[in-house]
């Protein structure tokens, strides 16, 4: 089950960050495209940088997009973004499918999968690694 989920999520994962009119643009964290227009990410990715940037951004297969926040659930650390306008072009692999969201609310004891990013600041080149893991609520 999780091997199929991992393949799907690696195909739809993206980098998210912030941008501004002054051209201040930086990608900070990871998100997942749910469809052609919506990205799900951790709320802390945007909240940590919102004072430095005017709007969130996300990159997908065809470009970098300025996004709008359409749902923010701080207590669950969830943020849903909607692509508003393309800022730059990209040429990445287009996903064959997108993940579906369960209509059932997660509960204690439920096994879930998640994407995360590991950065080792002390490393010479400060490489960043993406991984998919499971956890139990």
Integer angstrom CA distances of residue 27 from 46, 74, 77, 106, 131? 10, 20, 18, 29, 17
pLDDT category of residue 3 using cuts at 50, 70 and 90 = low
pLDDT category of residue 69 using cuts at 50, 70 and 90 = very high
Domains of the chain listed by start with CATH number: 2-89 (2.40.10.10)
Q: In whole angstroms, what is the distance from residue 9 CA to residue 96 CA?
A: 11
Whole-structure pTM value: 0.79
Contacts of 1 (CB under 8 A, 6+ apart): none
* CA of residue 116 relative to chain centroid, distance: 9
Cβ-based neighbour number of residue 53 at 10 Å? 18
Nearest to 14 by CA among 81, 70, 101: 81
* pLDDT tens-digit readout, 17-32: 999 988 788 998 889 8
Mean pLDDT (whole number) for 70-78: 91
* pLDDT tens-digit readout, 87-119: 999 988 888 888 777 788 778 888 777 667 777
């Amino acid at each position: 089950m999780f091997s199929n989920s991992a393949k799907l999520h690696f195909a739809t994962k993206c980098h998210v960050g912030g941008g501004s009119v002054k051209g201040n643009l930086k990608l900070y964290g990871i998100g997942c495209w749910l469809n052609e227009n919506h990205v799900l990410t951790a709320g802390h990715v945007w909240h940590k940088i919102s004072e430095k940037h005017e709007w969130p951004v996300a990159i997908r297969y065809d470009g970098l997009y300025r996004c709008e926040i359409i749902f923010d659930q701080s207590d669950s650390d969830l943020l849903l973004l909607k692509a508003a306008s393309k800022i730059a072009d990209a040429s990445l692999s287009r996903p064959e499918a997108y993940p579906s969201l369960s209509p059932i609310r997660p509960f204690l004891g439920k096994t879930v999968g998640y994407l995360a990013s590991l950065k080792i600041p002390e490393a010479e080149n400060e490489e960043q690694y993406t991984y998919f893991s499971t956890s139990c609520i």
